Amino acid sequence: MCGVFGIFGHPEAANMAYLGLHALQHRGQEACGIVSTDGERLYSHRAMGRVQAAFDPQALTSLHGDRAIGHVRYSTAGGSHLKNAQPIGVDWARGSLAVAHNGNLTNFEALRDRLEARGSIFQTVADTESVLHLIALSQVEDPEGRIADALGQLEGAYSILFLDERRLIAARDPLGIRPLCLGIIEHDDRTGYVIASEPTAFDLIGARLVRDVLPGELIIIDEGGMRSSFPFRRAERKMCLFEYVYFARPDSILEGANVYEVRKALGRRLAVEQPLPPGEGEAVVVPVPDSGVPAAIGFAGQSGLPFEMGLIRSHYVGRTFIEPQQSIRHFGVRLKLNPNRAAIEGKRVIVVDDSIVRGTTSRKIVKMIRDAGAREVHVRISSPPTRWPCYYGIDTPTRAELIASTHDLQEISQYLTADSVGYLSLEGLVNGVRSVEAPARVGTPGGSTPPGPDSYCHACFSGSYPVPFTPSSPPRHLRMLP
């Protein structure tokens, strides 16, 4: 999971990109970068770490021009090194070109082998670089056609931005697995365009959401304005369900649906499907903050039980799931959460979280709550069991490391030391998302027909992959922009 941001037609493009990336920081904390242009050349700054630390006033001042693209990264294909940070930029025979990509290319290994056989030399181990080589080798004459030709050879998930000296180009794969949104920004008497992984990036800079970039859509923005086309094979949309469950910020709107309202709806369905077992004593609903809060609100409202902040989060620690090192992920539980004894002591506690991956974090949370005096601890998860890895841009573990792929419900409960464990069903998840998304999509571009039950990617829950996966291996090593 990464975040991309693009802006065209604003005199402070680099500053706007910086703010947009700050709003997308939850999508990647490992590296970040911005490439800008003044119409003559491209300017680049990339660094490891988070946006606020990576960009100082001097770095932003060096990024000239009224158009820019940016990226926040955590690694899926390619390791945690500066050379793999994005946007990746190159100088080539037709000028300069930079690319920022969210997703994962499932045919990367086959593409790399074919490109290397034709003489391409790779400088990074990121699958995104292969797109630049495909563009350089394309026989199509016009720049937009070359990009469409290259993207037509990709398989997997991509929400992707390109920037050259004249234009900003955005594209979303034909299945629409990863989100991408289009907005406009007003400055003086000029209207500019913005594109981002989530519309929360628009709010911070005063831009307005227009719509989602549609699956299979190619958008070109230049001095003449904006135009779009659909050059790829049409397919049924397969939006990632885990975006709604965990990844997107709760104040985002994806495919017309407010993520916060979706998560509350999932909590209400969870309360119906997995209610608290009968027992003695006062019961409270406690979220695992922050991502479990909306679902816990929905669960509490549906079940008529009080909602309590039984776990207090330190906001000086990042989202542990996307930290690059496993050791940090485990240690982060103690750094991030502390039980609120006054809210849970002597009570039957229903702990609501968005997912269980390995189970190590959930086990520590259950232990913390018990140590704080809870009478019972019942774990409720607002998504189905995660049994399969994701190959479309999320760094989930192998099947052997996913607790739900190797343990049944009783074994998971025993491992967590919980009194009970309950998951939302896949049907409940799909219907929960549809209940919020479908009404909102009616009347939007390309959205007059409400999404069907099969218009989502749920491979991590079901093992049903919309795009075949070809295992990729790191490549060996266009002149890269500094």
CB contact at 8 A, 67 and 9: yes
The interaxial angle of helices 426-441 and 259-273, nearest 10 deg, is 140
66 preceded by cis ω (within 30°)? no
Q: Are strands 376-381 and 348-353 parallel, antiparallel or unpaired?
A: parallel
Tell me how far apart the alpha carbons of residues 221 and 251 are, in angstroms, rounded to a whole number. Answer: 27
Q: Which one, of 416, 379, 402, lies nearest residue 460 by Cα?
A: 402
Two tokens, residue 442: 């009616």
Q: What DSSP character marks residue 452?
A: P
Kindly list the distances between the CA atom of residue 190 and the CA atoms of 196, 210, 221, 225, in Å, as whole numbers in the listed order: 20, 17, 14, 11
- The active-site residue out of 1, 2, 210, 467 is 2
Q: Which one, of 66, 73, 59, lies nearest residue 24 by Cα?
A: 73
Q: Which residue ranges make up the annotated binding site for [4Fe-4S] cluster?
A: 240, 390, 457, 460
Q: Which one, of 251, 257, 261, 394, lies nearest residue 322 by Cα?
A: 394
Tell me how far apart the alpha carbons of residues 311 and 284 are, in angstroms, rounded to a whole number. Answer: 12
Q: Which residue ranges make up the annotated binding site for Mg(2+)?
A: 291, 353-354
Q: Which residue has the tokens 């800079």?
A: 205
CB contact at 8 A, 276 and 266: no
Q: Largest Cα–Cα distance in the chain?
A: 75
Q: Which residues pair with 337 in a beta bridge?
A: 313
Tell me how far apart the alpha carbons of residues 401 and 326 are, in angstroms, rounded to a whole number. Answer: 12
Q: Which residues contact 246 (CB under 8 A, 6 or more apart)?
A: 291, 321, 354, 355, 383
Respond yes or no: is residue 181 known to be catalytic.
no
Q: Which one, of 345, 355, 368, lies nearest residue 418 by Cα?
A: 368
Q: Which one, of 280, 283, 276, 281, lies nearest residue 305 by Cα?
A: 283
Q: Which residue ranges make up the annotated binding site?
A: 240, 291, 353-354, 390, 457, 460
Q: Which residue has the tokens 């630390």?
A: 53
Tell me how far apart the alpha carbons of residues 50 and 60 are, in angstroms, rounded to a whole number. Answer: 15
CB contact at 8 A, 40 and 75: no
Catalytic residue set = 2
